[in-house]
Amino acid sequence: MNRAFNFSAGPAVLPYEVLQEASQAALDFNGLGMSIMEMSHRSKEYEAVIKEAQADCLKIMNLSEEEYSVLFLGGGASLQFYMVPANFLINKANYVLTGVWAKKAAKEAKFVGNTNIIASSEDKNFNYIPKNIQVEQDADYVHITTNNTIYGTEYKENHIPDAGNVPLVADMSSDLFAIQRDFSKYNLIYAGAQKNIGPAGVTLVVIKKSWLEKGRKELPTMINYETHVKENSMFNTPPCFPVYVVGRTFKWILKQGLEAIEANNYKKANLLYDFMDSNSDFYKPTVTDKEDRSLMNVTFNLNTPELEAKFIEEAKKRHNMTNLKGHRSVGGVRASIYNACPIEWVEALVRFMEEFMKENK
């Protein structure tokens, strides 16, 4: 099959071998004569699927099932913006604003209670990661967004805020399992699947059990984490097919290891950033501080919006390079190069960038 060079920010490219496995399971799962989408989520076969995915998730994160629960929920990361404060915001919460999604998370928290913005990069259009953040030690939790798809910034591990004794919560939707992290630092991690771990329609939540015990008890059933932990994500029908694909993607990640995945992601990103830095009179990365640059979403501008539009059009027309248009709120160009994006795609993009520059300089 002739695959497009898909640089979409999400739903994003998936590992080809996972797509092949999923296509077979969509027709006949494990020789049962029915699709994975037709099976009862209460069947022992499907129970094995979800339990294996949960176990593999913790294995990747080097966390124990005695300490952490893995949930597969609906509603996207956007629902987590509200669920987190609904369960844990008692007195006040701290938020760090590094982009649109972080702002939306803070906005939802304000419906629940007192929310303090302890750092923000909005003063420079979110083109950097705030450093040396002081977390209020009497806060119920501090919330960060580790990667910012629109603006192309990302927390590297050495700039994760020191939360002290305050529970740390992270939206890792767009860089989960892209780099090695100490996941034990976090009391709760959530991620919409459609960037690095699976298709749209399921949200991963990893929560520390000891913290869950301290959360609110009187909550509507569906937004109470205890509901879903107690029922092992089966209180209602889960997004069965997306969970299966996430589970297969976890196998793909385990086979490579996070160290190798991180090394490959740096290699891909550096191909693009190094080329642009060497040709900065033509290609201008939106994030100038190199340590803050995202490995997942490479955002840049050309000298005029007209030239950017021509670049995007020519990339599609000549080489079937798709989804290079920047987010509608900021414009420009964006190449999203998640885990499953082959390095050959990035090499092809750099060759086109060089070709386009020579023709239009």
Instruction: List, by residue number, the catalytic residues.
Output: 101, 171, 195
Residue 359: CB atoms within 10 A of its CB come to 9
Q: Is 213 helix (H, G, I), strand (E, B) or coil?
A: coil
Question: Looking at the DSSP assignment, which residues form a beta bridge with residue 69?
Answer: 207
Query: How far is the C-alpha of 297 from the C-alpha of 174, rounded, in Å?
Result: 9
Query: How far is the C-alpha of 341 from the C-alpha of 270, rounded, in Å?
Result: 14
Residue 322: CB atoms within 10 A of its CB come to 14
Pairing of strands 153-154, 203-208: unpaired
Tokens of 34: 């029915």
State CA 163 to chain mean position distance: 21
Q: How many CA atoms lie within 13 A of 262 on its CB side?
A: 10
Query: How far is the C-alpha of 280 from the C-alpha of 353, rounded, in Å?
Result: 12
Residue 255: CB atoms within 10 A of its CB come to 10
Residues 6+ apart with CB under 8 A from 325: 312, 333, 334
Residues 6+ apart with CB under 8 A from 177: 60, 196, 197, 253, 258, 261, 339
Torsion of CA 219, 225, 228, 230, to 10 degrees: -90
Q: Is the peptide bond before 167 cis (omega within 30 degrees of 0)?
A: no
What is the 8-class DSSP label of residue 221? G
Q: Is 244 helix (H, G, I), strand (E, B) or coil?
A: helix
Quote the radius of gyration of the chain (alpha carbons, Å): 21
